[in-house]
Structure 1
Amino acid sequence: MARPASRRTVIGAAVAAASAGALGSAAPAGAAAPPRAAPAAARTVDNRFWTTYTDWRCGDAAGVRAVAGQRPGIVIGTPAGATEYTDPHTGRTESWEYAAWTSPEHRSTVPATELVASWNAATPAGTWIRVELRGRYSDGGETPWFVLGIWAFGDGDIRRTSVDGQGDGKASVWTDTFAVDDAASGLRLTSYRLRVTLYRRPGTRLTPTVWRLGAMASDVPDRFEVPASVPGAARELLVPRYSQNTHVGQYPEYDNGGEAWCSPTSSQMIVEYWGRRPTAEELAWVNPDFDDPQVCHAARFTYDHQYAGCGNWPFNAAYAATYRDMNAVVTRLTSLTDLETLVRAGIPAITSQSFLKEELTGAGYGTSGHLMTVVGFTPAGDVVANDPASPSNEAVRRVYRRAEWERIWLRTKRYDANGKVRGGTGGVCYIFWPVKSAPSQHRALQALGLV
């Protein structure tokens, strides 16, 4: 599907100004009527994640060593070499030893218009990683190596960053998303390899550890409407509730403070649902007068210095996975039935959506991009969400109408308040879960192609 020139319009500030006029679900006056919804394709999403000891042994290793155990991964063995890196956000040039792992070529079950990578890693001080993609097109051509993220949990060595200005005339990288420039041409990404490069300070024995590397490739058709799903069983999970709006004005260096912190606030809710949270020592940098300092912590450590925001999808997943024995991925789901499968197994999820004020009853605002945490479903099938765009923690729990929610989350095309066509996320969500999960949770994740 077509993408805007910058995904800031999709996942920027959490709450845009409320739109004037009662547009409802109809097109604005003067705009072309949206096409009638077509049946969803049988398969629009392909997930492939490398996580096992066999996976790490099968890749192309240059200086890395596979490690076994409960959570297999890769570390620096004997560095493949040394290089210099100039941080574009600090201007510092430093030398680093490096080693790299390149995945086998994965042929996607879905010839794709978009791809979003995920990684789970530990980067002690003095280390960092770079994640790249090289793919093959349906016309036989190959992409160059595109950078999908330069990442470290901390910000003392390098600044975690996406890389702008990448393209080859057929596709481009917008912040964290590889996208074919003209999906209507029929060109698709048919296969790809991922490469992760591990860096450390020269002369040390430090090493990052990478436990998960993979991607969600998709070809979601352009659509203003989506088929309605049939409600399933009711269940609500007890997920901590945090408001981003109680942090407005705090630490404006991280995307203007709490008003734009929907993504890290949602991520923190689920991290704590699974019984993880930062220590008092890790929170010592936060002003002690601020409530819920862990939300400030999440904003700082998800911040993308190029995008200038906390809404980079893989960076949020990578943040969640820094907590003890946590897995985290970015994917797309195809219906609320998929979310019900997760919630029924005890797994909440974070969804990304855009809407006018009139398109989501009870929200009270419109947004060009917002993240919420889905924590349950009512007996009628409506969505129970922890909405961080609330005035207080107590007001975070909301119930939204099922059909409205499904539409604003799954569509890829929408009209803004001026009648212009804009993009939608097409079912993007974050899913976090512990390494040791219940059999029912493993089955739910497996059913969605995530394990």
Structure 2
Amino acid sequence: MTRPTSRRTVLTAALAAGAGAVSAAGSAAAAPARTSPTPAVTSLVDNRFWNTYTDWRFGSSEGTRAVAGRRPGLVISAPAGTTDYADPHTGRTTTWEYATWTSPVHRSTVPATEVIASWNARTPAGTWIQIELRGRYSDGTDTPWYVMGRWASGDADIRRTSVDDQTDGRSTVWTDTFSVDDAASGLRLVSYRLRLTLHRTPGSRLTPTVHRVGAMASDVPDRFTVPAAAPGLVRELAVPRYSQNVHVGQYPEYDNGGEAWCSPTSSQMIIEYWGRKPTEDDLSWVKPGLADPQVCHAARYTFDYQYDGCGNWPFNAAYASTYKDMNAVVTRLGSLKDLEKLVGAGVPVITSQSFLKTELTGAGYGTSGHLMTVIGFTADGDVIANDPASPDNGAVRRVYLRREWENIWLRTKRYDANGAVRSGTGGVCYVYWPTDPTSSQQRVLRSLGLI
């Protein structure tokens, strides 16, 4: 399926990978407070994304500048200095020029137990970016600067990676998720800043371009079941169907091959739904004769070398955004009604869930963590999903009972086969859309705090 039980465990299926050291290239001054103009998804979730020309100008800059245009961005203007990066996955130490941008302080509408950052960027060969988060607790103290990702679209300059062993004894970064260690204590994260560090080859005029950065903050209570939402939509979107299991045994260096590729397989389905796909040149590295080589491509370019897998949520969103004029975020939705709004506007959604074989009729498997693509709803309100955990592409379309599916996606606690309590994802999902959405898509995305 997707992951061994030990890999994603905390409340949001964040990884049980150990905690870690704070690292940053240079320090940025505190930015002035500014409250997000976008509404929360629900009373349990707050989204804030910086992506406009004004957003980039409001931040605190050291060597970066805002670029206007159809799709505004942040680039290196003049490097703030140089830094040496010892890549733990290649053994190489390389000198890079860098520049930084720090967001204004965002006070979350939801005092949060968890925060997940996501970003959209282009990183030409010879460039890469680092994304960090620093928050303020409800007792007035601050977290360290936590690294939420070191990322490049390619893998020749650095190996994209999460960072283990980040903790201050009260919160921990579990691969892609900031989490308060003891939510029952009442401690919450009430505000945060994000810091971008853009790197390039010294002496060059290269630059990454960051088009979007932000985070989803949430405080979803422990729950084994969720209230039922009445059906309200009958629609099915024509989304391409790809099976991860077609690729079992292929490229085992990327998370042991296709049996663990649910996340990139799902990402590729939606990327192609929006009319984007890799070029023949992009796919030239894939062995001739393999079916659906674009799925192999997605696995390689979502792979997190520290996590040792393709299931890093923000890395999948970042991969989707490397395609022309694509936006992508990681968030939480509050109910199936929110999911119906997106699908009703023509926006399919990738969802994360875990369940026993007996908990999802017709799946034929159980999993400690799995991604699938919701593409529609039947007249009875049941969920139509492109489930990559299928024997072949023809079997990918599934219909799952609404009440069963709703519960396994939105709950935060569950029982495993031995009766032990495990975590659930609490409505985590990826949402991808083009920069020119329809007016109805804009309305729905705005209502959910995504634009």
Q: What is the TM-score normalised by the length of structure 1? A: 0.92
2:352 counterpart of 1:372: no
2:21 counterpart of 1:7: no
Aligned to 1:143: 143
Matches within 5 A, 1:137-216: 137-216=137-216
Aligned to 2:90: 90
Provide, for residues 307-344 of structure 1, a one-character-per-residue CA deviation record: whole Å limited to 9, x for no partner. 00000000000000000000000000011110100000
Aligned to 1:286: 286
Cα shift at 1:288? 1.1
Matches within 5 A, 1:258-297: 258-297=258-297
Query: What amino acid is the match of 1:95?
Result: T
2:352 counterpart of 1:347: no
Query: 2: CA distance between counterparts of 1:8 and 1:282?
Result: 34
Partner of 2:406, secondary structure, is helix
Query: 2: CA distance between counterparts of 1:288 and 1:428?
Result: 36
Provide, for residues 368-422 of structure 1, a one-character-per-residue CA deviation record: whole Å limited to 9, x for no partner. 0000000000011000000000001000000000000010000000000001000
Say if 1:5 and 1:174, in contact at 8 Å, map to a contact too.
no
Query: 2: CA distance between counterparts of 1:187 and 1:133?
Result: 17
Partner of 2:361, secondary structure, is coil
Aligned to 2:37: none
Tell me: CA distance 1:365–1:6, structure 2 relative to 1, closer, same or farther (3 Å): closer
Aligned to 1:62: 62
Q: Percent identity?
A: 75
Tell me: CA distance 1:138–1:11, structure 2 relative to 1, closer, same or farther (3 Å): closer
Cα shift at 1:7? 2.2
Residue ranges of structure 2 left out of the alignment (5+ in a row): 16-40
Query: 2: CA distance between counterparts of 1:256 and 1:233?
Result: 38
Residue ranges of structure 1 left out of the alignment (5+ in a row): 13-40
Partner of 1:115, secondary structure, is strand
Say if 1:352 and 1:428, in contact at 8 Å, map to a contact too.
yes
Query: What amino acid is the match of 1:353?
Result: Q
Aligned to 2:21: none
Query: 2: CA distance between counterparts of 1:116 and 1:420?
Result: 26
Query: 1: CA distance between counterparts of 2:213 and 2:84?
Result: 24
Query: 1: CA distance between counterparts of 2:9 and 2:418?
Result: 18
Partner of 2:259, secondary structure, is helix
Cα shift at 1:289? 1.5
Matches within 5 A, 1:288-307: 288-307=288-307
Say if 1:128 and 1:199, in contact at 8 Å, map to a contact too.
yes
Which segments of structure 1 move beyond 6 Å, counting only runs of 4 or more?
none
Query: What amino acid is the match of 2:8?
Result: R
Matches within 5 A, 1:17-416: 43-416=43-416
Query: 1: CA distance between counterparts of 2:85 and 2:224?
Result: 44
Query: 2: CA distance between counterparts of 1:233 and 1:100?
Result: 45
Query: What amino acid is the match of 2:231?
Result: P
Partner of 2:136, secondary structure, is strand
Query: 1: CA distance between counterparts of 2:244 and 2:194?
Result: 34
Query: 1: CA distance between counterparts of 2:170 and 2:108?
Result: 18
- The number of residues matched between the two structures is 420
Cα shift at 1:6? 5.0
Query: What amino acid is the match of 2:72?
Result: P
Query: 1: CA distance between counterparts of 2:288 and 2:404?
Result: 40
Partner of 1:167, secondary structure, is coil
Query: 1: CA distance between counterparts of 2:128 and 2:232?
Result: 43
Say if 1:79 and 1:99, in contact at 8 Å, map to a contact too.
yes
